[in-house]
Amino acid sequence: MRVDVFQQYESEVRSYCRSFPTVFTKAKGSYIEAQDGQRYLDFFAGAGALNFGHNPDLVKQRLIEYLQEDGILHGLDMYTDAKGQFLQALQEQILQPKSLDYRVQFCGPTGTNAVEAALKIARKVKGRRNIFAFQGGYHGMTLGALACTGNSYNRKGAGTALPDVTFMPFPFGPMKEIDTIAYLDAVLSDSSSGIEKPAAVLLETVQAEGGVVVAPTPWLKQLRSLCDKHDILMIVDDIQVGCGRSGNFFSFERAGIVPDIVTLSKSISGCGLPLAVVLLKPELDVWQPGEHNGTFRGNQLAFVSGTVGIELFQSLNLPAQVAEKSQLLQQELSGIIDRLDARMELRGLGMIWGVDLAPLGNERLIDQITSLCFQDGLIIENAGRKGQVLKLLPPLTASSDELHIGLEIIERAMKKAL
Ligand code: PMP
């Protein structure tokens, strides 16, 4: 297949393929392979959709069995065995052991649709239009979720108003010096603040697209208390850093808080098949039947693979693996920064790490680094306000050797670019 087929026939809106301009054919584990036989170590992992790596054996086996038995492929939102198995696994293996009491809503199979559903139900429950989102946050590209996304380039794409959202400062950058919780409290307590009380606060506990910005644990706890104080719902968007990426299954566990609503997608299907869910406290589940509808709310293959994903999360003891590899990544990246330029800033936790090149003041560096990595056999993307953060998002199942190989490629690329 020629690359110019895509350039000629596919919309200009295509994006990642521009950074990795080759035709991919196969993938396994931490590697993705192009048609010319070149193998690439994948430190982007489907933007966080491949926590278990590409084509995990057990997932593949179950999918093949399911297909061979003529298991249902499309079932609207009917009761199917595949959906039942997934629901039971999620409730019994993940939620109940953590004493998390949530109803599971299946929505359209993309992250952004889960965010839309979460916003709708929050507004319906509280009877308020406004939502507080955070500066630097990313929640998706459909209008409701986009209204909660800070990035001006993405927002411009809407071509229309993005109403009923107020952006609040996230404890990062210049806002780090501000007591953002006190600011929120003041705004909510002052009847002349001019800011409407929101139905919900929507946040990522680690802003991923925003440049790997980790919200401090005390801040998360304070935000939870603030939501309770002012009768506001807390929605955690765990689409990118959920399903084990942060070290626990849910990213908010490290703060010991329980959100009212959680969105999950990306890695919840165990292998990158489209699936998205909203977890709701039972008292918030006041939907009327079909009020948030959709033809594709029952991706049966994703239910099958997602059930395996939950089994793998347990059997591989991913939290222990992530803790170990997190340390490796942090230590090695700190070493690279010390050797090359100590002005670079390292942020992250679990298996999401970002090296922020913004302090170097050369905006062209990052593209040079990612393309040098690609030439050297590593897929890695950038993130952050000005795209200045090299974002490491390897599969959680990547071996230490694979992590070392990737880190060596990164160091070589940085050295050359610098
Ligand atoms: N929320 C977060 C935190 C995300 O990272 C993303 C995707 N990058 C989305 C929502 C949107 O998900 P999707 O691209 O599947 O619509």
Which DSSP string do the residues of 48-109 spell out, in sequence order? HT-TT-BS-HHHHHHHHHHHHTT--SB-TT---HHHHHHHHHIIIIIIGGGT---EEEE-SS
Minimum CA distance residue for ligand 1 atom 5: 240
Minimum CA distance residue for ligand 1 atom 10: 139
**Predicted pLDDT of residue 88:** 98
**Predicted pLDDT of residue 173:** 83
Fold (topology level) of 60-315: Aspartate Aminotransferase; domain 2 (3.40.640)
Ranges in the chain, pLDDT < 50: none
Give the span between the Cα atoms of 243 and 280, in whole angstroms.
17
Give the span between the Cα atoms of 39 and 380, in whole angstroms.
14
Minimum CA distance residue for ligand 1 atom 13: 111
Give the span between the Cα atoms of 299 and 310, in whole angstroms.
16
Q: How far is the CA of 142 from the centre of ligand 1 (A)?
A: 10
**Predicted pLDDT of residue 84:** 98
Q: How far is the CA of 372 from the centre of ligand 1 (A)?
A: 27
> Taking Cα atoms as reference points, which of 296, 258, 263, 294 lies closest to residue 278?
263
**Predicted pLDDT of residue 396:** 98
CB 417 within 8 A of CB 240: no
CB 110 within 8 A of CB 336: no
Domain at 3-55+317-417, CATH homologous superfamily: Aspartate Aminotransferase, domain 1 (3.90.1150.10)
**Predicted pLDDT of residue 348:** 98
| For ligand 1, mutation pick of 112, 243, 381 (most atoms within 8 Å of CB) | 112
Where exactly are the structural domains of the chain?
3-55+317-417, 60-315
User: 60-315: same fold as 3-55+317-417?
Assistant: no
163 SS3 class: coil
Residue type at 78 in one-letter notation: M
| For ligand 1, mutation pick of 239, 273, 296 (most atoms within 8 Å of CB) | 239
Looking from the CA of residue 145, the nearest atom of ligand 1 is 10
**Predicted pLDDT of residue 22:** 97
Q: How far is the CA of 54 from the centre of ligand 1 (A)?
A: 19
pLDDT in tens, 381-409: 999 999 999 999 999 999 999 999 999 99
| For ligand 1, mutation pick of 139, 205, 241, 263 (most atoms within 8 Å of CB) | 139
**Predicted pLDDT of residue 45:** 98
Ligand 1 neighbours, Cβ below 6 Å, are: 47, 110-112, 115, 138-140, 204, 208-209, 237, 239-240, 265
CB neighbour class for 115 (10 Å; exposed up to 12, middle 13-18, buried from 19): buried
Give the span between the Cα atoms of 100 and 10, in whole angstroms.
44
Place of tokens 């952004």: 112
Q: How far is the CA of 65 from the centre of ligand 1 (A)?
A: 30
| For ligand 1, mutation pick of 107, 113, 138, 212 (most atoms within 8 Å of CB) | 138
Looking from the CA of residue 240, the nearest atom of ligand 1 is 5
Minimum CA distance residue for ligand 1 atom 7: 140
**Predicted pLDDT of residue 174:** 81
